[in-house]
Structure 1
Amino acid sequence: MKTKLDIIGIGNAMVDAIVSATQEEVEKNGLIRDSMNLIDEDQKEFLHRSYTVQEMIGGGSVGNTMFGITSFEGNGSFIGKIKDDAIGQFLMEDMTGGGLKFPLGYTSSTTPTGCCTLFVEKDGTRTMATFLGAGTLIGPEDIKKEDVTNHRIAYLEGYLWDNKNAKKAMKKMIDLCKADQQQIALTLSDQFCIDRHRESFKQLIENDVDIIFSNGDEICSMAETSNIDKAITYAKSLGIIAVITIGEEGSLIIHNDAVIEIAAKPVSKVVDVTGAGDLYAAGFLFGLAKGKSLEECGQYGSIASAEIISHFGARPEVKLSTLI
């Protein structure tokens, strides 16, 4: 019997293009600050003509998490759609160079690879202007049993719920992974994403999900409250593992009636909070795949998120395995 890999993730495959900006510049471009904004290819090209891209870094929420898992010396696979263009080639090298399997390869013939233009302010606030590109093409035909089975945990990106075909792909992947005795983890992605899909997310969580990842705003949106204590009560009622990151206050891990508080690791200077939640998920899922306690999983997540906010971009600058 083959040894199981740690994690399989499915999400929007894209590259982050990092731009330094002010709040005024963000708002001038009609973007909702400190959130994810969907844009088209023309808007992406306009932004790249108007601002200097300081750095290109492999991105995408679940892509960031999967790369973080390899930095902990974990392993796994990533399901995402890219084109054989400059950005796609960069992303392929970035992901597979870290040791991830990328079973779909180049599968978009015309639509460019996705790119998220990240406006980063001096205080670390980031606003995402996201061109999904080839990521919108993912469908159930891309989910093959031989690619998704033989992992311990499946990790799903909530953003994919915006796309009807991607939703079908996720449902197919859930069915295959559950039959393979995998735990199903879901990132709630964004409070506006939750606003669009709250009821179907609730059904998905009730029927299929073992672990959810959210921040304080997202879990409050799910619970339809502005009160974090009421949101925690809601999370307890789910009967699953609910991980809630709350910035400098650390994180909460809720399992049934138990609430485990994890302190944030100190950081001398917050440079860029891009990917903080994604890397927390990397540490947590890596720990879970290795049989660690929920508290240890939270500690791993806290270590990873502290490293990632100390510099630009959502790729660790040191091997996370050296920090645990």
Structure 2
Amino acid sequence: MTEPTLDVVAIGNAIVDVIAQADDDFVTSEGVAKGSMRLMDEATSDSLYSRMGPGREISGGSAANTVAGMAALGAKCGFIGQVADDQLGAVFAHDIRANHVVFDTAVRAGQPSTARCLILVTPDAQRTMNTFLGASQFLPEAAIDHELIASARILYLEGYLWDPEEPRAAMRAAIEIARAAGRKVAFTLSDTFCISRHRADFLNLIDSGLLDILFANESELLSLVEGTDFDAALEAIAAKVPTLVVTRGVDGAVAVHDGERATVPAEPVERVVDTTGAGDLFAAGFLAGQVQGRALADSLRMGAIAAAEVISHYGARPEAKLSQLVADKLG
């Protein structure tokens, strides 16, 4: 087995976020639960965009945010995701490459356009995401770069992208490539709606031993097991994956690795501005800690530090120098 040249290659939705402030009444009038994520078609997305307040365009996408955060922590990363041959696609490609992430997926000609997520941020910093998946849901298996995946220590997959059939097949192929190359596979459950639609698939990945690292938040973990007892859910899933990482919002996070359990509190934040990307950056910090050979608790702490930075400003990509923040707090 050859030595890896990259730390992580991620596959996920290639999305440009449009972030705008909104009050609770506006969110309610849209008929969507505050703090949730819903999918919409292009016409509905255009309609909502026309009614939103002034927005900021910032490249996003869950797995893309994670590798951008990892790169900011000194990791060598790649990303595979589908954009269209349009302005937002060019914005996404520029931004991720500017973060020193390898991104060579060919653009897709024609319609639909590049994916966008219209994010409504309420005064309590909760983000309600309204996503048009556009071109991202047409990532073909042919776009999977075998050499790129085999070159990375870890393949990181985004649960959001499991929904459309074409990228789901692409990710299954990527898992086979990573496994054949002796690499680890990490998976994030992404959202309870993903679990409700694909619980059987996700449990099959876990039960088949195809996942080495699983990321979830507390609600996602409970949804996965269809239970209400957190400790019981943690024990049940931790028995099936080598490493389980669960974030719990203000209550911090917990990880279990081969029977070892570690917990950390949430990192203090002077003011929470926008919770978009908190889980993505937590995964970035944790994975960066693991590829650096840090202890389980220290990797969790790195995740908490990265998450705290991203919720202190608008957008799901870090603005402060994460590597310096970690050095100041962990050494």
TM-score range, shorter chain: over 0.9
One-letter amino acid matched to 1:263: P
Q: Which residue of 2 aligns with 1:254?
A: 256
Structure 2 residue 135 is matched with structure 1 residue 134:
yes
TM-score (norm 2): 0.95
The C-alpha deviation readout for 1:34-53, integer Å capped at 9, x for no partner, is: 11100111111111111123
Asked whether the equivalents of residues 4 and 150 of structure 2 are also in contact (C-alpha less than 8 Å), the reply is: no
- Structure 2 CA distance for aligned equivalents of residues 56 and 106 of structure 1: 20
8 Å CA contact 1:264, 1:302 repeated in 2 = yes
Q: Distance in 2 between matches of 1:159 and 1:316?
A: 21
- Cα distance between partner residues in 2 of 1:275 and 1:118: 11
What are the superposed Cα offsets for residues 194-245 of structure 1, whole Å, 9 maximum, x if unpaired?
Answer: 0111111001122200011000000001111122122122223224211000
**Secondary structure in 2 matching 1:217:** helix
Q: Deviations over 1:118-165 (max 9, x none)?
A: 011111111100000001111211113123221010000111221111
Q: Counterpart in 1 of 2:112?
A: 111
Could you tell me how far apart the structure 1 residues matched to 2:289 and 2:181 are? 20
Q: Residues 242-291 of structure 1, C-alpha deviation per residue, up to 9 Å, x if partnerless?
A: 10000111100012433211121111111111100000000111111222
**Residues 82 and 106, structure 1, Cα contact 8 Å, conserved in 2:** yes
Q: Which stretches of structure 1, 4 residues or longer, exceed 3 Å deviation after superposition? A: none
Mapping 1:20-35, distance limit 5 Å? 20-35=21-36
How far the C-alpha of 1:14 sits from its partner, in A, is 0.4
Aligned 8 A contact 1:223 1:230 in 2: no
Q: Provide, for residues 69-109 of structure 1, a one-character-per-residue CA deviation record: whole Å limited to 9, x for no partner.
A: 11112111100000121111111110001101112132343
CA distance in 1, matches of 2:54, 2:222: 34
* SS of residue matched to 2:108: strand
Tell me the distance in 2 between the aligned counterparts of 1:282 and 1:109.
33
Helix, strand or coil at the partner of 1:322: helix
User: What is residue 156 of structure 1 aligned with on the other side?
Assistant: 157
CA contact (8 A) 1:82 1:108 kept: no
Q: What runs of 5+ residues in structure 2 fail to find an aligned partner?
A: 327-331
Q: Which residue of 2 aligns with 1:19?
A: 20
TM superposition score normalised by structure 1: 0.97
Query: Which AA in structure 2 matches 1:85?
Result: D
Letter in 1 for 2:214: I
Counterpart residue type for residue 223 of structure 1:
V
- CA RMSD of the aligned region, Å? 1.3
What secondary structure does 1:37 align onto?
A: strand
Counterpart code for 2:242 = I
The CA distance in 1 between the partners of 2:4 and 2:242, in whole Å, is 26
- Is 1:204 the counterpart of 2:214? The answer is no
Which residue of 2 is the match for residue 230 of structure 1? 232
Q: Which AA in structure 1 matches 2:252?
A: G
Distance apart, 1:3 and its partner CA: 5.1
Matches within 5 A, 1:1-324: 4-207=5-208, 208-324=210-326
Distance in 2, Cα, partners of 1:242 & 1:2: 25
Q: Shift of residue 2 of structure 1?
A: 6.4
Is the Cα–Cα contact under 8 Å of residues 77 and 100 in structure 1 kept in the other structure? yes
CA distance in 2, matches of 1:46, 1:125: 22
Q: Distance in 2 between matches of 1:63 and 1:108?
A: 21
